[in-house]
Amino acid sequence: MAPPLLALDGIRLTFGGTPLLDGASLSVGPGDRIALVGRNGSGKSTLLKIAAGMVEPQDGEVFRQPSATIRYLPQVPDLEGFATTRDYVEAGLGPADDPYRAIYLLENLGLTGQEAPENLSGGEARRAALARVLAPEPDILLLDEPTNHLDLATIEWLEDELSRSRSALVLISHDRRFLERVSRATVWLDRGQTRRLEQGFAAFEEWRDTILEEEEREQHKLARQIVREEHWLRYGVTARRKRNMRRLGELQDMRVRLRSHRGPEGLANLNASEAAESGKLVIEAKAISKRFDDLLVVDNFSTRIGRGARIGLVGPNGAGKTTLLKMLTGALDPDTGTVRLGVNLEIATLDQKRSVDPDETLAHFLTDGRGETLVVNGEEKHVVSYMKDFLFKPEQARTPIRELSGGERARLILARVLARPSNLLVLDEPTNDLDMETLDLLQELVSGYAGTVLLVSHDRDFLDRTVSSIIAPEGDGKWVEYAGGYNDMLAQRGGTKLGDRKRGAEPEQAGPKAEAVRPAQKSPSQKLSFKQKFALENLPKKIETVSASISALEDRIADPSFYERDPGSFQKTIAALDKERETLKALEDEWLELEMLREELEGS
């Protein structure tokens, strides 16, 4: 067996209070492909920095083979002091390294090398940093969240590049699919200590659950053993004093072990505050287009999104995903075409930029400065109690946001978004910086959400588990909607990945467009009857009239003194409201079916 290139043993580090690392170990040999996994805040990035020589542990041994070269990719790369991205990348090369490899990597990562660092987006800075660490082909690559801010095409390219690399890898990532395809061993950092599985990440979760179940059984056995020993000391036949003192000492040791045991960290409690049900039709876009100067971002795109749909938007960075999302939700007007939003929409948005005031406290951020409570699902809840649902400690209520880690900040912003009543969730890159346990819960929330979801994501596993259809770019501003998740989209494209298709090429084997309601197939020669045409023209007016009636009835019921004044009238108003809602649903269904039939006949 070859000696390790890098070995950490018995690493201990604390910043006061519970140790962050408490006997952690990590061994990296030639050709290793290691996934380093653990909860947010467990110390993964710190352990990687110790391996890179950027942080000194308080205790433990660190061995680096003197001839081994190590390159470290931080979560937030620093390009300050360099005139261009090429200068930054070439500064990481050694005397014997191939300078042309830096150019090759920059081109494949979508950069020219002439970009000024101060003008780079987060994704572009991440690409430049990847080129810098990959270019020297080091013996060991330490990569902290290498897929953050990267689009799907670049993530898939990076998978292929790493699979060809001779470097040993240690990876931290929240992207399950990426870890499954790249890793061949897994190191789990949990409660300051590490365990190693000599299999890739695909086998990790089952192995982890088995360990936690066994740990729970052992703790239960220890608790029962303490009960037996306490019973013997109180009621057993007195033996020699020396023996009694020995058993008493053993009992004290068992009590210490039970009390000092750190159980696994709990799970967040993700629940979205749901507003009243929206209309059946949520969004209808007809032939919308958007251009920025000479760049055509969206060209003649149409779709209908019905209540309960879960739509994923994918594509390369800069393709226009966020632009299309804003047009669909009414936040940005199209240059041409129309967007119609359904009735009773309450939108909650998780913005990609997630701008926050770093000096604002957690409690102030969650309550918008309105005291110590907030309303979640119609119930008033103390802000500290709500924070606990998202794994924050009570003492963090007055902590400035700048003190939070990336994962904690992501959880905090998600907590604020989910507290607001909604029936349309708009999530732009919701998976960034979340650990896998929280991602699992977010996946369950999206899948079980009673309303409609629009999300932009580069997480293929998350998309496959949550969305009912995907909207993807085909080049030159053309967007196509595919039924199913990410793998379903690839199958409908003949296995062609997003980054492989030539710009402007027609989609191959494009699947059927996912629509809110599908009418029965009609003969191409059939035309709308006079009655159908008349209904199609007049139904929108009826829908508006009924919607106004519903709003008026809801306003009456909202009066807290209405029931006390006239209980009988209150009950009649409730009944009238239910009837009007049923009428609205029937009108919307009729209009939607007729409109889809009209477009189908005109298209044929």
DSSP helix, strand, coil percent of the chain (3-state; round to 5)? 40, 20, 35
pLDDT confidence tier of residue 245, bands split at 50, 70 and 90 = low
Average pLDDT (209-232) is 77
Residues 119-147: pLDDT tens digits? 887 788 989 999 999 999 999 999 999 99
Average pLDDT (461-482) is 91
In a 3-state reduction of DSSP, which class is residue 480? strand
pLDDT confidence tier of residue 500, bands split at 50, 70 and 90 = low
Q: Name, in order, each residue with C-beta under 8 angstroms of 279's C-beta and a sequence gap of 6 or more.
A: 307, 342, 343, 344, 345, 547, 584, 585, 588
Nearest partner of 600 among 543, 536, 514, 520, judged by Cα: 520
pLDDT at 505 over 50: no
Nearest partner of 22 among 59, 62, 48, judged by Cα: 59
Q: Is the dihedral of CA 518, 521, 522, 523 positive or negative?
A: positive
Cβ–Cβ < 8 Å for 47, 13: no
pLDDT confidence tier of residue 328, bands split at 50, 70 and 90 = very high
State how far the Cα of 89 lies from the Cα of 102, in Å rounded to an integer.
6
pLDDT at 522 over 70: no
Tally Cβ neighbours within 10 Å of residue 367. Answer: 19
pLDDT confidence tier of residue 242, bands split at 50, 70 and 90 = very low
pLDDT at 241 over 50: no
Residues 275-323: pLDDT tens digits? 788 888 999 999 999 999 889 999 999 999 999 999 999 988 878 898 9
pLDDT confidence tier of residue 551, bands split at 50, 70 and 90 = confident
Least confident of 80-84, 223-227, 568-572: 223-227
Nearest partner of 421 among 347, 329, 330, 311, judged by Cα: 347
Cβ–Cβ < 8 Å for 281, 592: yes
pLDDT at 17 over 80: no
- Residue 381's φ and ψ, nearest 5 degrees, are -135, 135
Residues 373-422: pLDDT tens digits? 888 877 888 989 888 888 788 888 898 988 887 777 888 888 888 888 89
In a 3-state reduction of DSSP, which class is residue 343? coil
Nearest partner of 304 among 601, 588, 604, 602, judged by Cα: 588
pLDDT confidence tier of residue 166, bands split at 50, 70 and 90 = very high
Nearest partner of 110 among 570, 499, 516, judged by Cα: 499
pTM: 0.69
Least confident of 367-371, 520-524, 550-554: 520-524
State how far the Cα of 208 lies from the Cα of 455, in Å rounded to an integer.
30
Cβ–Cβ < 8 Å for 509, 497: no
Average pLDDT (502-526) is 37
- Residue 94's φ and ψ, nearest 5 degrees, are -90, 175
Angle at 332 between CA 326 and CA 335, to 5 degrees: 120
Burial label for 40, CB within 10 Å (0-12, 13-18, 19+), is buried
Helices (H) and strands (E) in the chain, counts: 18, 20
Cβ–Cβ < 8 Å for 66, 78: no
pLDDT at 87 over 80: yes
Least confident of 159-173, 374-388, 507-521: 507-521
Amino acid present at 585:
K
Residues 48-77: pLDDT tens digits? 999 999 999 999 999 999 999 999 999 888
pLDDT for 152 equals 87
Give the percent of the chain with pLDDT over 70.
Answer: 86
pLDDT for 262 equals 64
- When the pLDDT of each residue in the chain is averaged and rounded to a whole number, the result is 83
User: Which of the listed ranges 268-277, 478-487, 542-551 does the model predict with the highest average pLDDT?
Assistant: 478-487
pLDDT for 11 equals 95
User: Which of the listed ranges 98-107, 231-240, 542-551, 585-594 does the model predict with the highest average pLDDT?
Assistant: 98-107
Q: Which residues lie across from 479 on neighbouring strands?
A: 473
pLDDT for 507 equals 36
State how far the Cα of 309 lies from the Cα of 330, in Å rounded to an integer.
18
pLDDT for 299 equals 95
pLDDT at 475 over 90: no
pLDDT for 516 equals 35
Angle at 288 between CA 283 and CA 293, to 5 degrees: 135
Burial label for 23, CB within 10 Å (0-12, 13-18, 19+), is middle
pLDDT confidence tier of residue 506, bands split at 50, 70 and 90 = very low
Instruction: Give the neighbor-by-neighbor strand order of the sheet with 59-64.
Output: 21-28, 6-13, 59-64
Q: Name, in order, each residue with C-beta under 8 angstroms of 448's C-beta and a sequence gap of 6 or more.
A: none
State how far the Cα of 271 lies from the Cα of 260, in Å rounded to an integer.
32
State how far the Cα of 314 lies from the Cα of 486, in Å rounded to an integer.
9
Least confident of 52-61, 184-193, 334-343, 592-601: 592-601
pLDDT for 234 equals 63
pLDDT for 454 equals 95
Which one is predicted more confidently, 224 or 576? 576
Cβ–Cβ < 8 Å for 25, 9: yes
DSSP character at residue 271: -
pLDDT at 597 over 90: no
State how far the Cα of 542 lies from the Cα of 519, in Å rounded to an integer.
22
